[in-house]
């Protein structure tokens, strides 16, 4: 008997060798993404430690460090408390009108933080300092914890909670000993994103006169044009961001959170709130009023007091915002595609290294990214200084993970066997991927583009520093009018920013609920 060996195409997966061209492209993209980190290192080398030390170890830096660290240490736990508490109420209790409250809890994401600060500053002019910074930032950013917590709670196996109750544990004990530990990744991930936003935020804190490293760097840039003092502050701020990134990775640990099997094939039994129902409704109503109603009421009030819609700059600002945000979204998706393909189809140390560069770059505040691009374009590529290309590049660096995460998931879920079948019919590899895999990635491509576009449309700091002279976006025009205390003129820009944000926020909400229901 003759045995004939049949060779089948080796499927891409762990241990498979990635194409050389893909590695070269990913390496080139990673090098570009590391430019902001290289800028921070170059500041230290160019200025020298002897000149940098007195700029870092001075009373002003100490004040900024106290303000910034206090903001993070107090703000992150508060956002976790609101985000996890809200997610548990709408997903695991008998709270009346749970669907309505689920939407209310995510609604603040559609209001940019600097617009929320504008609303509170115009409603309560005395708001300022750390307390004002905490109020505005916590109300603006707690949904970043709420969404992953909601998805994680929806994905929990209710049998675990039922088993705990059968052993005599009460509702609070079940939540603390069974539910909460399984939310660790959602809490750490959401908390890290909130912390990085707190370190990077400029407009929201400038409105209420609360000084952080980012607000101080912008002031230094405006007075000394990226001089040594701004560089010294940027070094400290970058160290804080990278420290947070390392701390989150260490706190995440290596524990397993996946379950074997499909779990209980039924929905969890909601916990009865009983006498706590009025208190829960009152708390959610107060949160909705503070996070959504107050900013919107201020915008509507100022809108009614002026004729802001007649401003001639309004149409051009809307057009330029859509073009720049759309360009940033398209560029981010194109950059994320090879990195996501390498990570999903050829996982390994090299893929993790290239993927990690995108997160390191995105963890640095927008002000650092902007200063890096200002320095590089002036010294190396002066023709790109203050051009739309530089603005789009900044958007890619800042928001790339928003495109990378959904694309990586989409590619991982696309069956390799379909490509192999297309190749067996005579299609070249590239044609097979374009005809078979690309249509399967359309939802992921759309989600990534929407999320990047949302961030780019609301980005203020990098746009202010990098945009060509005469460029008007909704964010920069809003900032210009509001900084001049012309609140009625700023109101239409705020309305358009909110309207542009609503579709992307709705997409994030729907995706989170679908992911948790798997």
Which tens digit of pLDDT belongs to each residue from 306-326?
787 888 899 999 999 999 999
Distance CA 363, CA 65 (A): 18
Average pLDDT over residues 195-211: 89
**In the prediction, which pLDDT does 53 show?**
82
pLDDT tens figures, 121-147: 988 988 989 999 999 999 999 998 998
**In the prediction, which pLDDT does 31 show?**
92
Helices assigned H by DSSP within 93-209: 98-106, 113-123, 129-141, 143-154, 158-166, 171-174, 180-182, 184-200, 203-207
Contact (Cβ atoms closer than 8 angstroms) between residue 466 and residue 454: no
Distance CA 317, CA 363 (A): 28
Most trustworthy range by pLDDT among 15-24, 242-251, 291-300: 291-300
**Smallest Cα–Cα separation from 358: which of 326, 337, 336, 334?**
336
Distance CA 98, CA 93 (A): 9
User: Does 93 or 329 have the greater pLDDT score?
Assistant: 329
**In the prediction, which pLDDT does 298 show?**
93
Distance CA 231, CA 371 (A): 9
Phi, psi at residue 415, to the nearest 5°?
-65, 130
C-alpha triplet 429, 435, 437: angle, nearest 5°: 80
Contact (Cβ atoms closer than 8 angstroms) between residue 118 and residue 302: no
In the beta sheet, which residues pair with residue 385? none
Predicted confidence band of residue 289 (pLDDT cuts 50, 70, 90) = very high
Least confident of 7-21, 263-277, 424-438: 7-21
**In the prediction, which pLDDT does 491 show?**
92
Assign residue 421 a region: left if phi > 0, alpha if psi is -120 to 50, beta otherwise? alpha
Q: Which residues touch 222 (CB under 8 Å, ≥6 apart)?
A: none
Phi, psi at residue 20, to the nearest 5°?
-60, -40
Q: Which CATH architecture does the domain made up of 21-46+311-500 adopt? A: Orthogonal Bundle (1.10)
Q: Which residues touch 115 (CB under 8 Å, ≥6 apart)?
A: 295, 299, 478, 494, 497, 498
Distance CA 192, CA 247 (A): 9
User: Does 84 or 51 have the greater pLDDT score?
Assistant: 84
Q: From the centroid of its chain, how far is CA 192? A: 10
The secondary element (H helix, E strand) that includes residue 67 is helix 59-92
Mean pLDDT of the chain: 83
Average pLDDT over residues 390-394: 95
**In the prediction, which pLDDT does 226 show?**
57
Instruction: Spell out the domain ranges in the chain.
Output: 21-46+311-500, 58-253+276-305
Most trustworthy range by pLDDT among 317-331, 371-385, 414-428: 317-331
**In the prediction, which pLDDT does 263 show?**
47
Distance CA 246, CA 382 (A): 35
pLDDT tens figures, 458-510: 998 899 889 898 888 999 999 999 888 888 999 999 999 999 999 888 887 88
**In the prediction, which pLDDT does 516 show?**
53
Distance CA 280, CA 478 (A): 36
Distance CA 436, CA 433 (A): 5
**In the prediction, which pLDDT does 444 show?**
81
Contact (Cβ atoms closer than 8 angstroms) between residue 452 and residue 329: yes
**In the prediction, which pLDDT does 517 show?**
55
What is the percent of the chain with per-residue pLDDT over 70, rounded to a whole number? 86
Give the C-alpha distances (Å, rounded to integers) separating 153 from 103, 172, 463, 506, 514. 16, 15, 37, 19, 12
Average pLDDT over residues 287-295: 95
Assign residue 12 a region: left if phi > 0, alpha if psi is -120 to 50, beta otherwise? beta
**In the prediction, which pLDDT does 15 show?**
47
Say whether pLDDT at 396 is over 90. yes
471: DSSP letter: -
CATH of 58-253+276-305, one of 1.10.10.10, 1.10.3720.10, 3.30.450.20, 3.40.1260.10: 1.10.3720.10
Say whether pLDDT at 264 is over 60. no
Contact (Cβ atoms closer than 8 angstroms) between residue 144 and residue 187: no
Q: What is the pTM of this model?
A: 0.82
Q: Which residues touch 43 (CB under 8 Å, ≥6 apart)?
A: 52, 228, 231, 232, 234, 235
In the beta sheet, which residues pair with residue 93? 271
Q: Is 93 helix (H, G, I), strand (E, B) or coil?
A: strand
Q: Is 484 helix (H, G, I), strand (E, B) or coil?
A: coil
The reply to whether 21-46+311-500 and 58-253+276-305 are identical in fold is yes
**Residue for token digits 């994905």?**
155
């Amino acid at each position: 008997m003759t045995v004939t060996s049949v060779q089948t195409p080796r499927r891409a997966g762990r241990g498979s060798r990635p194409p050389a061209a893909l590695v070269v492209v990913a390496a080139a993209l990673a090098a570009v993404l590391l430019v902001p980190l290289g800028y921070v290192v170059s500041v230290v080398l160019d200025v020298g430690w002897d000149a940098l030390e007195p700029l870092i170890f001075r009373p002003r830096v100490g004040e900024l460090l106290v303000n910034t660290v206090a903001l993070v240490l107090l703000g992150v736990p508060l956002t976790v408390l609101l985000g996890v508490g809200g997610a548990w109420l709408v997903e695991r209790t008998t709270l009346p009108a749970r669907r309505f409250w689920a939407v209310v809890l995510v609604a603040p994401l559609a209001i940019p933080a600097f617009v929320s600060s504008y609303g509170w500053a115009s409603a309560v002019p005395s708001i300022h300092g750390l307390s004002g910074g905490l109020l505005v930032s916590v109300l603006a950013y707690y949904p970043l914890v709420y969404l992953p917590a909601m998805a994680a709670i929806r994905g929990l196996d209710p049998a675990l909670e039922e088993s705990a109750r059968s052993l005599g544990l009460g509702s609070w004990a079940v939540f603390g000993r069974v539910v909460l530990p399984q939310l660790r990744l959602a809490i750490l991930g959401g908390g890290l994103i909130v912390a990085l936003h707190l370190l990077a935020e400029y407009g929201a804190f400038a409105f209420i006169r609360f000084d952080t490293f980012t607000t101080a760097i912008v002031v230094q840039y405006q007075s000394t044009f990226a001089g040594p003092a701004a560089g010294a502050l940027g070094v400290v701020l970058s160290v804080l961001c990278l420290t947070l990134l390392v701390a989150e990775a260490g706190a995440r640990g290596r524990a397993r959170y996946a379950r074997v099997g499909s779990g209980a094939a039924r929905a969890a039994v909601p916990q009865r709130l009983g006498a706590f129902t009025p208190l829960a409704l009152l708390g959610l109503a107060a949160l909705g009023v503070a996070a959504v109603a107050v900013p919107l009421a201020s915008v509507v009030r100022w809108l009614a007091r002026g004729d802001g819609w007649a401003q001639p700059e309004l149409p051009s600002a809307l057009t330029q915002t859509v073009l720049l945000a759309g360009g940033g979204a398209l560029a981010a998706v194109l950059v994320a595609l090879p990195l996501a393909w390498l990570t999903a189809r050829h996982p390994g140390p090299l893929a993790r290294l290239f993927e990690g560069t995108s997160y390191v770059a995105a963890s640095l505040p927008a002000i650092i990214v902007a200063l890096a691009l200002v320095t590089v374009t002036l010294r190396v590529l002066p023709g790109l200084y203050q051009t739309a290309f530089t603005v789009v590049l900044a958007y890619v660096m800042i928001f790339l993970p928003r495109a990378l995460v959904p694309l990586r998931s989409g590619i991982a879920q696309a069956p390799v066997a379909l490509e192999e079948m297309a190749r067996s019919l005579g299609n070249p590899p590239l044609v097979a991927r374009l005809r078979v895999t690309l249509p399967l990635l359309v939802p992921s491509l759309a989600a990534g583009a929407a999320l990047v576009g949302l961030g780019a449309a609301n980005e203020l700091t990098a746009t202010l520093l990098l945009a060509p002279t005469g460029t008007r976006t909704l964010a920069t025009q809003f900032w210009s009018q509001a900084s001049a205390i012309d609140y009625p003129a700023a109101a239409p820009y705020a309305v358009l920013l909110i309207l542009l944000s609503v579709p992307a926020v709705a997409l994030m909400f729907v995706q989170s609920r679908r992911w948790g229901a798997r």
